[in-house]
Amino acid sequence: MTLTGKQRKQLRGLAHDLDPVVQVGKEGITDAVLAQVDRALDAHELIKVRFLAGRAEMDEGIGAIARGTGAEAAGSVGHVAILFRPRADPEKRRIRI
C-alpha cells in the first residue's frame, strides 16, 4: 500500500492528538520493538513512535519498522514518527482513507 500526499495529510491530522505508544531507545530497532509496534498497529491502526536517536538514525528506523511490520509512514515531526497500517478485515477498520 502506498499513501498519496492527501492521505498522508489526513492521517497526520488524525494523529495530532495521539501520544506515542512505542519508544525506540539507544538499542535501535530490535525484534522486541518490532513486535511492540506490530501489536500497537493491530490495536490502533494509526500510532506514533518516539525515537531517542538523531534524525539520520530515525529515518533509517522508520524504514526498518515499515518493512518489518508492513506499515506505511504517514510523516514525522521532531523525534516522533506516524505509522499507519489498516486492519486486514475491512469490516473492523476504524480509519477510512
Structural domains of the chain, ranges and CATH numbers in brackets: 5-87 (3.30.110.60)
pTM > 0.85: yes or no: yes
**38: its cell numbers:** 506490530
| Sequence-ordered list of residues with C-beta below 8 angstroms from that of 9, at least 6 positions apart, any chain | none
Q: Do 26 and 52 touch, CB atoms closer than 8 A?
A: yes
**What tens-digit pLDDT sequence spans the chain (97 residues)?**
789 999 999 999 999 999 999 999 989 999 999 999 999 999 999 999 999 988 889 999 999 999 999 999 999 999 999 999 999 888 888 998 8
